[in-house]
Chain A
Amino acid sequence: MTAEHVPLDPSVAPLGTRNFRDAGGLPAAAWRADQTEQTLVPTHCCFCGIQCGMYLRVDGRGKVFGVEPRNHDINRMRLCPKGINAYQQVNHPDRLTAPLMRRDRNQPLREVSWDEALEFTVGQIGRIQREHGRDAFGMLGGASLFSEKTYLVGKFARVALRTRHVDYNGRLCMVSAAGANKLAFGIDRAANPFADILQTDCLLIAGSNVGECFPVLTQYVWGARDRGATLIVVDPRETAVARTADIHVALKSGTDSAFFNAVLQVIVDEGLTDEAFLAANTTGWPEVKAAVKAYPPSRAAGICGVPAEQIVDVARAFGRARRAMGWHARGIEHHTQGVENCLTVINLCTATGNLGRPGAGYGTLTGQGNGQGGREHGQKSDLLPGGRSINDPAHRRQIAAIWGIEEAELPPAGTSMMEMVWQMQRQEIRGLIGVCNNPFVSLPNYAVVKDGYDKLEFHAQFDFFLSETAANAHVVFPVTTWAEDEGVMANAEARVVKHNKAQEPPEGVRTDTWVMCELARRLGVGSKFAFEGSREVFDELRRASAGTVIDYYGITYERLEQTGGLVWPCPGLEHPGTPRLFEDGRSYHPDGKIHLQAVEWHPPADPYDDEFPMTLTTGRTVAHFLSGNQTRRLGALVEQTPRPWVEVHPSQGFRNGEPVRVVTRRGSEVLPALVTEAIRPDHVFVPYHWPYPVAANELTIDALDPRSKIPEYKVCAVRIERARSVDEVPAPPTPPGHEAYPEAQASRTDPLPPTSPQGRGTGERG
């Protein structure tokens, strides 16, 4: 053997390691340990609402090539597998680097110049709006965008398109919590910082798989447990966090409000309410008290399918704790009574006086990175920047003045995302621009969604990978990843954090800001979109939010870089921010009271019968994020969890890995069974990150909460049958002539379910 076969230089990848699976678009053979030229760019993760701090490692050529943990006080260097692998998106071979276009859907997409794509788009906007009215063109934003861009989506729709039809994918995510927060407190955000969890005596987690959806938050949960807190988890599945909870309430999906009403009823019965707090700070308590009388534990036990004693145990643990907290997520929010479910948790915290103190309070865990910020500044159909109402004449005048338009020019409120799809089916909406969303995977009832989008005469999508939705569009604009632009996001604590630019975008890629401003210029309103970049947009956003509840005026990029994040409301440049709300017991309603709302439970929208006797519930797995357009392309995450599965209880009589057909009134698909005792015998679970024909959302129901318009993802009627072979997982879409990065897709064809919902064990991999 010659010397060149046995490299002695320790900075060179050793022989035998050169065919290793992808380490971030960097073939191991090309890897060098000598990184003396690297710089570390402080930023935050692009994924969930925790917003962990991280450093991106940038090499001497200015390219992102790795990640380094960062001691930011949100996460203290901790990261989940998605966060660790996030950087691999930046220089990924699947990146879109030229606009794609076609004049009709029978042609393939082809690469075109920016000028051609923009001109075609502007022409189609003009034609559709001339022929069918301004509201025939819609816009859908996303909550993984920086706040600056979410602000621009709202402004672009109202000022450049002048359409009422604008909404965003937070409609599938946070709107139930938002609705409940506004009703009860007059302010829409979590009331306490994460750090308060460490000081609580009783932590209630309702409908959140914290260990998989917010892994880094687990350190706070375990920290509370280390200090003696009682942990209560309400979830139909025994998740990693539920497994070691003091009380795991495995209730039937869709029965949350009956459960929490019953808990409150016991608390009232046993005299555990804080009557002084209620008298001083609330309205509506007598009505709530009267309403919960109808939910004795014996009745709720029947509705929820849990022992009556467990309801009493939860009530005593929560009611007797000196400091108790309730945190919830999509598990109770994705329902046709999602808002009401959240209200029952608010009622519980308020009735026991658990608000506004360290370790005592209430929070909602936003799913997307900017799930909080994305709903604040005007991309929601009924909201203007600063959480202003588009229906309020005073609010309209304020924003019209800032935008330099007449109040009369400002369109009225539009409709929600799912309703917009129904309008596409009816051809009330004929053209659409989508930014940062992938409804072909994320919206319920896929057949309806596909039909709605297919009926569009013109559809443009902004993305950095070709999503399933973008692959169906007429025009695709290649835009930057989070590491190629700067901007802010607000995490689940309403803490605004700054993301920094780590590298220049690839040749041919533009920022979403540039694309929206350029389209506006070509639509003749360029003077209202004369933004150089995020910083100028943020300055306008700050001014537009000044004086509202969601006051960003005192937050500047410089202050964010100095502090590591500020929590709104932050009205002045010297203001320290407001990490904890309600410290004086006052809400943000004009009367300063917390407006308690009585709630009656009702069954889910999809009825059970002999044909569909079981419950389907959907959710996430730790290795993937939302519609999977990002994570299904990252080798390590595909290797951890290559495919979806259906989780069934052993009593259903299936063997592990056996093909099971999952049938609802809307669709059917065959998935491998993951047989586990960690789910209710009358429930099955399917994770939703994958597209048709293995999409959970082919099965889910497009029934909406009447107030928040959130779809009922978490419960529908289902039956399961034996089948012959499992449906294959398609490769992520790529532009014509490109193949999805094969190194990252190696595990995708594995027909077996993962070892556990969190993925395949390292011993189970090929």
Chain B
Amino acid sequence: MLGRTIFIDPGRCIGCQACVSACRECDSHRGKSMIHLDYTDEGRTTASLPTVCMHCEDPVAPCAEVCPADAILITADGVVHEADPTRCIGCGNCVNACPFGVPKIDLAAKLQMKCNLCYDRTSYGLAPMCATVCPTGALFYGTVEELQAERPGVDVSTAFTFGATTVSTGVAMVVPPERRAPVPGGLLNLIEVNGRPTPGNGAPA
């Protein structure tokens, strides 16, 4: 079950991108942000959503499962690390496998990079940079009990369905109570992202 982890609450996100800037300051990949910040309702509202690595748990993280070079290490605490630069061959399998679209590939360097839960901080008991600075608590680091103490009645989910597959994650999403679990990831009719049509839904070939 959940230990100390990140909780994402899009209902609190103001889209300020403090997390994006903070991620650059993380000593794991200084200067490069691993956070995805999307304005999900472009043209209609200012709604926004931060995405960090969900640190999938079950059966093992899909990115690590498909890695042909065994470059993606999962530590005993459940953190799915970014690809070991001495093993990664930059093939991009992990990018294709990730159901949340998290890893990035630097094509020139042939290296994968992604959120490692600020391992340089969390392994010493500090919170990740993004959740430390988030002005609104849209990214919260702690235990579910700490979260619920601060936000009475809040509910979270760590299960996401993609078609017939359910992925459970180490990072949790705050959900309305009626959506307790699992969150329908792949069942959403994804016709556009940030106001732009997706492949198969009107995107130019």
* Chain B 128-156 interface mask (CB, 8 Å, partner A; 1/0): 01001111110000000000001110000
5 A-B pairs closest in CB distance: A16-B109, A23-B31, A211-B14, A240-B14, A756-B39
B11-A23 in contact (CB<8A): no
Query: Contacts A84-B133, A763-B194; is A6 near B42 (CB within 8 Å)?
Result: no
* Chain A 730-756 interface mask (CB, 8 Å, partner B; 1/0): 000000000000000000000000011
The 25 listed contacts between A and B (C-beta, < 8 Å) are: A6-B85, A14-B29, A14-B109, A15-B85, A21-B31, A31-B30, A33-B27, A79-B18, A79-B22, A81-B16, A211-B16, A211-B46, A219-B135, A222-B12, A238-B45, A243-B45, A676-B43, A676-B46, A677-B45, A678-B45, A678-B46, A756-B48, A758-B39, A762-B33, A762-B35
Interface centre among B43, B44, B120, B193, by most chain A C-beta atoms within 10 angstroms, is: B43
> A215: CB under 8 A from chain B?
yes
| Set of chain A residues within 8 Å of B166, measured between Cβ atoms | none
Question: How far, in Å, is A103 (CB) from chain B's closest CB?
Answer: 43
B11-A244 in contact (CB<8A): yes
Question: Given known contacts A16-B111, A656-B195, what 10 new A-B pairs fall within 8 Å (CB)?
Answer: A6-B86, A16-B109, A20-B32, A212-B14, A215-B14, A238-B45, A636-B20, A755-B39, A758-B14, A763-B194
A676 to B106, CA, bound (A): 34
B108-A79 in contact (CB<8A): no
> A640: CB under 8 A from chain B?
yes
Q: Which of B33, B38, B45, B109 contacts A17 (CB 8 A)?
A: B109
* Chain B 108-138 interface mask (CB, 8 Å, partner A; 1/0): 1111010000001000000101001111110
Which residue of chain A has the shortest Cβ distance to B39 in the bound complex?
A756
Question: How far, in Å, is B9 (CB) from chain A's closest CB?
Answer: 9
Chain A residues bordering chain B, tally (CB within 8 A): 64
A16 to B16, CA, bound (A): 28
| Set of chain A residues within 8 Å of B32, measured between Cβ atoms | 17, 20-21, 28
Q: Which of A15, A640, A757 contacts B20 (CB 8 A)?
A: A640
> A394: CB under 8 A from chain B?
no
Query: Contacts A15-B111, A81-B20, A640-B20; is A762 near B38 (CB within 8 Å)?
Result: yes
Question: How far, in Å, is A366 (CB) from chain B's closest CB?
Answer: 18
> B37: CB under 8 A from chain A?
yes
A755-B194 in contact (CB<8A): yes
A84 to B17, CA, bound (A): 10
A575 to B197, CA, bound (A): 62
Q: Which of B151-199 contact A (CB under 8 A)?
A: 151-152, 193-195
A677-B135 in contact (CB<8A): no
A226-B46 in contact (CB<8A): no
> A13: CB under 8 A from chain B?
yes
A332 to B11, CA, bound (A): 27
A414 to B29, CA, bound (A): 54
> B4: CB under 8 A from chain A?
no
A420 to B10, CA, bound (A): 47
Question: How far, in Å, is A463 (CB) from chain B's closest CB?
Answer: 24
| Set of chain A residues within 8 Å of B44, measured between Cβ atoms | 676-678
* Chain B 26-59 interface mask (CB, 8 Å, partner A; 1/0): 0101111101111100111111100000000000
